[in-house]
A and B are shown apart, each in its own frame.
With several copies, the nearest count.
Chain A
């Protein structure tokens, strides 16, 4: 995936996928809770479009966007969210814990900081096996105060592990403004460890892609971890039950003016020489794609609870 339209399509798919999830939620077809990625699409698409075969990604509970950007089947993912047997994890994982190794998705991690741990471990494997791959951890701004953050940054740094830490700073940790519980600037933390650190406009997919490409190259070259702080905003609730009262007045509207899809569309037309019509066509294609996906998902079979489940890999003992 390399051209601008592809990046746009990737983002559009995520946005419409999340819209569909939200609608299905309201209809009672998706159960439990979901954490939508809407507004942050440029981060996942910008980073994941720069990966090489064999690279691994650790995504969060807010992982739909990362998964789709990695090429995980949107059908299989939607089926998973609906708990169907045809889901990428057979319905076992649900929204927060999807794993799809074939597409480089090590997992979506429900524990804040878990992605950093997982990616650090993957990078350790790459490093010791002399495998020319990079591991990517996505996580939020609030994660910068969690134990795994500091321990993993240091561990990756001292072993010069090929890992790119992608901090998606959307200003909030659930409903609490991160700045109110965070001392200093997030980017100063990796810097204090001597880790190469860059801050990037997370709503500009081209900027993210460029920053990610450099970061991945640097990490792949063996010079150690790279930290990207990706400034973005979540234009939907944290999860299903979000009270929403925490946003500063006008903030949401301001950020909606910088919606990554809007920005990308504008750039494609104004700078990359595409027609509006071409972009519209993508929208229409994604629309149809999502319709089919939702339809199929709703018709997909449920897993059979009467099937026996082994306790351990490799047999009962």
Chain B
């Protein structure tokens, strides 16, 4: 099967949707002429003309432009350069975009996508490394997509752009250079998790970069005779709870790994969902996340801060008493 780079997968999804549907537009800071600070959109403006354009540093106006155009016939894809800047669009997302369909009583929809580079481990410090998903997890009407694998990134972005709801599409900075199977190149439905490794002793559910950490940990743990199932959640809103419950009913144990401060992250939500529904089948349930303080810049501090494969393996061993 052919390989694709994560960055390229995003580009292809944008490029194809722009070509397919004249209602699709893409805008953001430095995305057109310069091709984006993570070089994701290089060449897109040349290919699609005025439907791909650079904007001022005006995040509130940008979300307004996205919302207002989405309810008037466009399918805007907005890039907010870093996830750390998403608080500036929260009002637009919460009070405009995510409410429109419901409050209008179904008169219209608000199909917009916000792409944003998120996550840490790249020495960008406390204000360019955050994981915004939890800030948005309590916003009804919003979907949150968080791919781990390049093939998924494309298929999920295609679906996000075609979706009639506002979608927050999170791209982990660490993954842009990762290559993986291109897959079919077709749309992949939102809200459906993927079992990326089958196993019987324990379910590890996670997303984005942490999927790769969990897979590495599972390899390591296999050596100790611990057989982990790894679920790539892919969509963080709505969660594919049935997929996780189904897995846990077999394995009896759930570890949720999240790249965000432990308290109030989405891992808590998933643990709660599973505990409520499957407490009878549960031998153990826990989460691993980052400490509850801002992300430190210094390499040794940052490395210790994030949950990596070693930390996952160690936690599993200790929780399983091995």
Extra inter-chain contacts (18) besides given A95-B297, A120-B61, CB under 8 Å: A92-B102, A99-B104, A99-B108, A106-B72, A110-B128, A114-B91, A114-B95, A122-B69, A125-B72, A145-B56, A151-B60, A152-B58, A152-B61, A173-B57, A180-B54, A246-B34, A302-B299, A311-B293
- Scoring A107, A135, A180, A304 by chain B CB atoms within 10 A of each residue's CB, the highest score goes to A107
Using CB atoms, name the residue of chain B closest to A158: B56
Could you tell me which residues of chain A, from 287 to 317, have a CB within 8 Å of some CB in chain B?
Answer: 302-306, 309, 311-314, 316-317
- Scoring A125, A158, A173 by chain B CB atoms within 10 A of each residue's CB, the highest score goes to A125
- Closest Cβ of chain A to B66, distance in Å, is 6
- Closest Cβ of chain A to B238, distance in Å, is 6
B136 within 8 A of A: no
A182 within 8 A of B: yes
B66 touches A97 (CB 8 A): no
A97 touches B125 (CB 8 A): yes
- Closest Cβ of chain A to B135, distance in Å, is 15
B91 touches A155 (CB 8 A): no
Question: How far, in angstroms, from A74 to B243 measured CA to CA in the complex?
Answer: 49
Known: A83-B299, A111-B95. A33 touches B124 (CB 8 A): yes
**SS of B interface (majority):** loop
A85-126 toward B: CB 8 Å interface, digit per residue (1/0)?
A: 101111111111101111000110111111011111111111
- Closest Cβ of chain A to B156, distance in Å, is 13
A residues in contact with B96, CB < 8 Å: 107, 109, 111, 114, 117-118
Using CB atoms, name the residue of chain B closest to A30: B123
| Segment of B6-14, B274-282, B300-308 in the binding face | B300-308
Known: A94-B297, A143-B57. A121 touches B70 (CB 8 A): yes
A194 within 8 A of B: no
B68 within 8 A of A: yes
B123 touches A31 (CB 8 A): yes
Could you tell me which residues of chain B, from 177 to 203, have a CB within 8 Å of some CB in chain A?
Answer: 189-192
Question: How far, in angstroms, from A210 to B73 measured CA to CA in the complex?
Answer: 30
B67 within 8 A of A: yes
B residues in contact with A312, CB < 8 Å: 101, 141, 143, 164-165, 238
B residues in contact with A109, CB < 8 Å: 96, 127
B69-105 toward A: CB 8 Å interface, digit per residue (1/0)?
A: 1111110000000001100100110011001111111
- Scoring B37, B95, B128, B301 by chain A CB atoms within 10 A of each residue's CB, the highest score goes to B301
A176 within 8 A of B: yes
Using CB atoms, name the residue of chain B closest to A89: B105
Within 8 Å by CB of B56, from A58, A99, A154, A313, lies A154
Within 8 Å by CB of A92, from B30, B55, B56, B297, lies B297
A residues in contact with B190, CB < 8 Å: 317
B74 touches A125 (CB 8 A): yes
Question: How far, in angstroms, from A147 to B164 measured CA to CA in the complex?
Answer: 28
A residues in contact with B55, CB < 8 Å: 155, 181
B residues in contact with A100, CB < 8 Å: 107
B127 touches A111 (CB 8 A): yes
A residues in contact with B107, CB < 8 Å: 89, 99-102
Question: How far, in angstroms, from A95 to B107 measured CA to CA in the complex?
Answer: 17
Within 8 Å by CB of A117, from B29, B61, B101, lies B61
B291 within 8 A of A: yes
Question: How far, in angstroms, from A93 to B191 measured CA to CA in the complex?
Answer: 28
24 A-B residue pairings within 8 Å (CB atoms): A33-B123, A83-B297, A99-B105, A101-B107, A101-B108, A106-B71, A107-B100, A110-B95, A114-B64, A119-B68, A121-B68, A128-B25, A148-B60, A148-B61, A151-B61, A152-B58, A155-B58, A173-B57, A174-B30, A175-B34, A303-B298, A304-B300, A311-B238, A311-B293
A residues in contact with B71, CB < 8 Å: 101, 106, 118, 121-122
B63 within 8 A of A: yes
- Scoring A87, A114, A126, A182 by chain B CB atoms within 10 A of each residue's CB, the highest score goes to A114
B227 within 8 A of A: no
- Closest Cβ of chain B to A199, distance in Å, is 21
- Closest Cβ of chain A to B197, distance in Å, is 24
Question: How far, in angstroms, from A312 to B111 measured CA to CA in the complex?
Answer: 11
Known: A107-B100, A120-B68, A314-B164. A94 touches B57 (CB 8 A): no
A residues in contact with B126, CB < 8 Å: 92-93, 97, 110
Within 8 Å by CB of B50, from A92, A123, A128, A305, lies A128
B85 touches A111 (CB 8 A): yes
Question: How far, in angstroms, from A181 to B96 measured CA to CA in the complex?
Answer: 25
Question: How far, in angstroms, from A96 to B143 measured CA to CA in the complex?
Answer: 25
A residues in contact with B37, CB < 8 Å: 174, 241
A residues in contact with B216, CB < 8 Å: none
Question: How far, in angstroms, from A118 to B60 measured CA to CA in the complex?
Answer: 11
B residues in contact with A122, CB < 8 Å: 68-69, 71-72
B residues in contact with A32, CB < 8 Å: 122-125, 297
B247 within 8 A of A: no
Question: How far, in angstroms, from A201 to B152 measured CA to CA in the complex?
Answer: 52
A residues in contact with B103, CB < 8 Å: 89, 92-93, 97, 99, 107
A62 within 8 A of B: no
B298 touches A154 (CB 8 A): no
B297 touches A121 (CB 8 A): no
Question: How far, in angstroms, from A131 to B163 measured CA to CA in the complex?
Answer: 24
B150 within 8 A of A: no
Using CB atoms, name the residue of chain A closest to B142: A312
- Scoring B64, B73, B96, B293 by chain A CB atoms within 10 A of each residue's CB, the highest score goes to B64
Question: How far, in angstroms, from A99 to B64 measured CA to CA in the complex?
Answer: 16
A84 within 8 A of B: yes
- Scoring B37, B65, B164, B303 by chain A CB atoms within 10 A of each residue's CB, the highest score goes to B65
Within 8 Å by CB of B123, from A94, A119, A125, A145, lies A94
